[in-house]
Structure 1
C-alpha cells in the first residue's frame, strides 16, 4: 500500500491530497458537525482531552512516512476461525469480526461495535488499507442486531456502507459520540443516530446501559475536520457484568483507566487495542502497544481481556504477527497468565464457560 493511502486511512487526506495548504486551511475551519457550548473538552470548534499531548505536525508526519522502517505484510492472513453466532445469548458472548469490530451478545441483546465489513479502511473503494482476511462473521450470518455503537469516525471504525446495510436489514439503534450523527446522516439521512458526550449514557434495554468514556485519541474524516467529532470508549453495564470496550487509545498518564475502575468496579470483560503502535515516537499518544494494554488490564483488573486492532488492516510499521508476540512478552513480564489476555483472530468467539 502506498504511503498516501495510509495517510487517508488515518485521517490525513489534507496532506495526502492537498499538501500543507490544505492542512493550514483545516486549522482555520469551523465545525461542520457539532454546535454546542464550550466545555472542559470542547473549545467551540474542536474536541480535546486536557492531558493529551499536542497533535503531531507536518514535520513529524513526514519523518514517519519517509522513515522506511515498515515491516512487510502478507497479501493474505486468513483466520482459522469462522463464527456463526446464535440468535440470542442470555448471559454473555463476544466475538471478533475483524480489526476493531465486535459482536457483543448479552442479556438477550445483540450489539455491534464499530462494524466494518468493507474491503478497505479508506474513503475510496480502489485504494487504501485492504483487508488481509475476510470478516470472521459473514454479514449474512449476523443475528438480529439491536444496537450499533460507534467509537469514532476513522475509516477503520466507521464504515458508512456497513451502517446502511445494517439499517436496511436490522433497523438497529445507532449510538455514537457527539458530531458523528452529522457524518452518518450525510450518507444515510434515513438513519436516526443517538449521540452523547463523555460522562453520559444511553439505555439500550434489557438492563444494559452504554456509558461514554474518554479515550486518548482523536478524529478526522476529511480534509478540514480534525477533532470536530467526538471519540469515545464504551462501558456497558449489563446483567452479565461490566464490559469495557476501547476502540483506539494511547495510554497517556493512565488517569482515564483509573477513573473507569473507580466508577464501574472490576469489569468482567475488557476489549483492548494491541495493534497499530509503531513507531512509538509517533503512535504512542494515540495507540497503545501491548505493554501499555497489559498496564490497563492491571489498572482495571478485568477478569478477562481480549486484544484487537491487529492483523486485518495494515496501518502502521509493525509486522502482522508482532502484536501477539509482544503481548505474550508483556504478560510474562507482568506475571499474568496468557489465557487471561488473549489476542483474538477474526471469527474467534468467547463465552464465560469457554
Structure 2
C-alpha cells in the first residue's frame, strides 16, 4: 500500500510540474536595482537570520510525506460559524474609528476612518495556482468581492497563494485606488492588469503617511515564490497601521525571530496584534511559528490583545484544523495574554474587541 501511495505521489508531482511549465506560470521578475534594507544578494531577498536550507532529498521527502502521511482531523466536522456581511452593514459603520472584519485565513477588511482597506484578500475557493486541486476553503467569505464597497487600499504581505490571490486582484483592480505591496510583487500585479501608478512598493521599515495615519512595512522571517524559478525574488513582511487613536500589527507569515522585538520597540505598544497561528510543522519550523511562539511574538510586539490569524479556512499542514486555537488558548492562559477570537464576518472596532469565543469547539 505504501508503495502504491508513493508512486501516486510521484505521478502527481510530475503532473503538476508539467502543468506548471506548459501553462507558463514560470515567474518573470525583474531584478531589484536600488539598495534595500532587506538583505538582497544574487537576485534574491534573504532573511536577517539564515534559514536552514532544504536539500533536494529533504524537499522530495516532504512531498512524499505530504502525499502519503495519513492526516487526522485536518478539515472541520462542524459548520464553521459565519456572519454574513452586507455593504449596507459596512456603510452604517461610523467613520471616526477603526472597524475590522476577519474574512478568513489571513484576509482582513478594515474601515479606517471612513476608508475601506483590505489585507491579503483571498476570495478564491482554493489557495492554489489551480482551482481544480490544492487547499480548498472550509467556508465561504462573509461578503463577496462584488458586494464590497470601493476599496481605498489593498495591503499584501507576500506573494504566496494563500495571501496573494490573482482572481481576487483581477476583480479588485477596478474598484481599488491603491495597492501597497512588497518590492517585486508589483510585477505580478501589473501583469494582471493593475495600473502601475496605483501601486506603491515597500522595503522593510519603509513608511507611508496617509490621511488616516502611518503605514509601515516591517520584517518577517519567511520566503516568497509562486512558480518555477522565482524563489525569494520578491520581498515578504508584515504591516504596522497607526491611526491617531489606534495601533495595530499584521504579521503576515513568519517564523519566530528577534525582529518582533525590534518592531515592538520601534512602533509598539499595539492595541491589537494579528499574529500568524497555524500551518506550522517540524519540517518548516523556521518560517512558521508554533502557537506558543505566536504568543511570544505578541509579547515582543508589546501587544495588548492578540487575534490569531492564518487558521480556520485552509488545510495547509499536518496538524488538526483546531490545534492552532487549542494550543494558543492554553498558552495565552499560561502567559496571561488576552485573546480575541471573533467568528468570521463579525464586525468589531478596536475600542470594543470581541472576547475569547471558542467557536471552533461547537458541536457538529
Q: Which moved more, 1:139-148 or 1:75-84?
A: 75-84
Matched ranges for 1:67-216 at <5 A: 67=65, 68-72=69-73, 73-74=75-76, 77-84=79-86, 85-87=89-91, 88-168=94-174, 170-190=175-195, 192-203=198-209, 205-216=210-221
Whole-Å separation in 2 of the counterparts to 1:140 and 1:30: 29
The residue that corresponds to 1:56 in the other structure is 54
3-state DSSP of counterpart to 1:176:
strand
The residue that corresponds to 1:303 in the other structure is 304
Whole-Å separation in 2 of the counterparts to 1:303 and 1:78: 27
CA RMSD of aligned residues (A): 2.8
**1:17 and 2:28 equivalent?**
no
**1:349 and 2:347 equivalent?**
yes
- Which of 221, 225, 239 does residue 220 from structure 1 map onto? 225
Displacement, 1:316?
Answer: 0.6
Displacement, 1:63?
Answer: 3.0
Conserved 8 A contact 1:35-1:44:
no
**Change in 2 beyond 3 A, CA 1:15/1:37:** farther
Whole-Å separation in 2 of the counterparts to 1:182 and 1:3: 37
Whole-Å separation in 2 of the counterparts to 1:74 and 1:65: 24
Whole-Å separation in 1 of the counterparts to 2:231 and 2:252: 18
Gaps of 5+ in 2: 354-364
Conserved 8 A contact 1:178-1:196:
yes
Displacement, 1:342?
Answer: 2.6
Q: Which moved more, 1:130-139 or 1:80-89?
A: 80-89
- Which of 223, 242, 246 does residue 247 from structure 2 map onto? 242
The residue that corresponds to 1:261 in the other structure is 264
Displacement, 1:45?
Answer: 0.4
3-state DSSP of counterpart to 1:93:
strand
3-state DSSP of counterpart to 1:215:
coil
Conserved 8 A contact 2:124-2:165:
yes
**Change in 2 beyond 3 A, CA 1:228/1:202:** same
3-state DSSP of counterpart to 1:275:
coil
Work out the number of aligned pairs and report it: 330
Gaps of 5+ in 1: 8-12, 23-28
**Change in 2 beyond 3 A, CA 1:285/1:344:** farther
3-state DSSP of counterpart to 2:150:
coil
**Change in 2 beyond 3 A, CA 1:322/1:108:** same
**Change in 2 beyond 3 A, CA 1:14/1:195:** farther
Whole-Å separation in 2 of the counterparts to 1:55 and 1:69: 26
The residue that corresponds to 1:35 in the other structure is 32
Give me the TM-score of the superposition, normalised by structure 1: 0.85
Conserved 8 A contact 1:107-1:206:
no
Conserved 8 A contact 1:99-1:346:
no
Displacement, 1:275?
Answer: 0.7
Whole-Å separation in 1 of the counterparts to 2:188 and 2:27: 15
Q: Which moved more, 1:29-38 or 1:223-232?
A: 29-38
Give me the TM-score of the superposition, normalised by structure 2: 0.82
Whole-Å separation in 1 of the counterparts to 2:305 and 2:149: 24
Displacement, 1:243?
Answer: 1.1
Conserved 8 A contact 2:27-2:227:
no
Q: Which moved more, 1:171-180 or 1:185-194?
A: 185-194
Q: Which moved more, 1:192-201 or 1:67-76?
A: 67-76
Displacement, 1:136?
Answer: 2.4
3-state DSSP of counterpart to 1:268:
strand
3-state DSSP of counterpart to 2:102:
strand
3-state DSSP of counterpart to 1:234:
strand
